[in-house]
């Protein structure tokens, strides 16, 4: 890993986001602060465009794209936040192995040790003004945006964009409902 103020700053930024992710489900105001910090570190415009793909992004620009971006953000955030505290249970450890900066783009490779298993998460960042924002994440080198894009392409071959927005709205509402336990 190279060093320098930019690389060191990005490393510290990602480490702080890891710490915030441990607090997203606390029962106090720390939860809201942690969620805002993580949400503010994500370039939702880029993620929505990558997930939808250039052809669909161009086709559904304007209000439709804004609705898609907002709904995608809700579904991804609610899903991720519901799982983050469990991820860190049991002493999960994170280590940043590499930070590369190339102009307004950065790449961060992190390794996680969960009990006896380890896996890699790669973070792709873009600089917007003075702030670095996460524009994609890859699990074991498979980018989430590519995975989501494949699913959306298949969906949009069969159904309309309006159907997609309806499905995302329903999923967001489902995620708002309390999780039922076996004893409920």
Per-residue pLDDT tens digits for 106-156:
999 999 998 888 999 999 999 999 999 999 999 988 999 999 999 999 999
Q: Residue 107 domain-assigned?
A: yes
| Mean pLDDT, rounded, of the chain | 90
Q: Number of structural domains, the chain? A: 1
Per-residue pLDDT tens digits for 44-95:
999 999 999 998 888 888 878 999 999 999 999 999 988 887 888 878 999 9
Q: Residue 115 domain-assigned?
A: yes
Is residue 181 over pLDDT 60? no
Q: Residue 183 domain-assigned?
A: no
Q: Residue 125 domain-assigned?
A: yes
Q: Residue 182 domain-assigned?
A: no
- CATH code of the domain containing 107: 3.10.450.710
Q: Which domain holds residue 93?
A: 5-175
Q: Residue 103 domain-assigned?
A: yes
Q: Residue 13 domain-assigned?
A: yes
Q: Give the 3-state secondary structure of the chain.
A: CCCCHHHHHHHHHHHHHHHHHCCCCCCCHHHHHHHHHHHHCECHHHHHHHHHHHHHHHHCCCHHHHHHHHHHHHHHHHHHHHHHHHHHCCCCEEEEEEEEEECCEEEEEEEEEECCEEEEEEEEEEEECCEEEEEEEEECCEEHHHHHHHHHHHHHHHCCHHHHHHHHHHHHHHHHCCCCCCCC
Is residue 172 over pLDDT 80? yes
What global pTM score does this model have?
0.88
Query: Which residues does 117 contact at the CB level (< 8 Å), separation at least 6?
Result: none
Per-residue pLDDT tens digits for 20-29:
999 998 888 8
């Amino acid at each position: 890993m190279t060093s320098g103020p930019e690389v060191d700053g990005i490393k510290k930024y990602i480490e702080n986001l890891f710490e915030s992710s441990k607090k997203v489900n606390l029962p106090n105001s720390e939860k809201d602060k942690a969620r805002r910090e993580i949400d503010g570190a994500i370039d939702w415009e880029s993620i929505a465009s990558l997930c939808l793909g250039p052809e669909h992004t161009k086709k559904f620009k304007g209000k439709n794209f804004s609705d898609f971006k907002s709904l995608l953000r809700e579904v991804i955030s609610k899903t991720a936040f519901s799982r983050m505290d469990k991820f860190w249970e049991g002493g999960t450890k994170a280590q940043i192995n590499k930070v590369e900066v190339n102009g307004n783009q950065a790449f961060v490779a992190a390794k996680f040790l969960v009990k006896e298993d380890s896996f890699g998460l790669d973070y792709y960042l873009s600089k917007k003004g003075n702030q670095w924002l996460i524009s994609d994440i890859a699990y074991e080198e498979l980018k989430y945006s590519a995975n989501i894009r494949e699913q959306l392409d298949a969906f949009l071959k069969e159904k309309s964009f309006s159907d997609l927005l309806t499905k995302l709205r329903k999923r967001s509402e489902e995620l708002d409902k309390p999780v039922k336990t076996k004893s409920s």
